[in-house]
Structure 1
């Protein structure tokens, strides 16, 4: 991964404790902001991918975010915030492992994770939305 832009500063706040795999905040100084709607594990035909396999679904979700970012000329290097919606926090470790395949682990985006009762389709286990900034 490339170093983050000098227009974006990822901050770990010591007084907030250790932040494993995410930054406490991302400061953006100027630039264009892109909001990626929550992505789910579906292919270009709307068919679910990886039914029953959390890791496969998570990977497809991140691939879909990558496709959305590419449409406006961005990559994961531009992502400053991720929000995860999981149907079961038991998958948190798997989610982090897949996330780390896509983001700059030296300067990870600010992140939030929420456990939800269900997603838009019953076979889905994860949804992720992203905010990206291009200076």
Structure 2
């Protein structure tokens, strides 16, 4: 039976510099799902929150929620995040928004998945300010309902 992952800060590890843990323990036999970087894209393909970091952060998390739900998993199955910000000046806002949102998403609060935070020159489109990708633990039995994204993958 699948259980959720466990977030750990091992003895001897330095203090985390944000809302993340140093390590994730994953149940044996767990399949991994790799979530592509989610951007601030709305339902019609439009960029949501141009110039507004908080609005983009919120939309990215709505998009992550949709992917997780579609895969039949929850926030508590996330093993790791990788976050890309375009402006280092947004780091403080990012930390504040995470501190407000994550206790509502994760049953593991105050422990959260490891996160690598990077600042980059730009994302795929100039107006994007934040992108978040994730690795998720989930048993393959949950996956048959997912549709392939290309005709070749269906055969």
Q: TM-score range by the shorter chain?
A: 0.7 to 0.9
Match of 1:36 in 2: 35
Normalised by the size of structure 2, how large is the TM-score? 0.77
1:11 aligns with 2:8: yes
TM-fit CA distance, 1:80: 1.5
Q: Alpha-carbon deviation of 1:96? A: 2.6
Q: Aligned residue for 1:24?
A: 22
The ranges of structure 1 where at least 4 consecutive aligned residues each deviate by more than 4 angstroms after the TM superposition are: none
Distance, in Å, in 1 between the alignment partners of 2:13 and 2:75 is 25
> What do you get for the CA RMSD once the two structures are aligned?
1.7
Structure that is richer in strand per residue: 1
State the TM-score, normalized to the length of structure 1.
0.87
Moved more, 45-54 or 97-106: 97-106
Please list the CA deviations of residues 88-135 of structure 1 after superposition, one character each: whole Å capped at 9, or x if unmatched: 122122223333414423220011001000000001100000111136
Aligned length, in residue pairs: 131
1:1-135 matches, cutoff 5 A: 8-19=5-16, 20-30=18-28, 31-100=30-99, 101-102=101-102, 103-104=105-106, 105-134=109-138
Unaligned runs of 5+ in 1: none
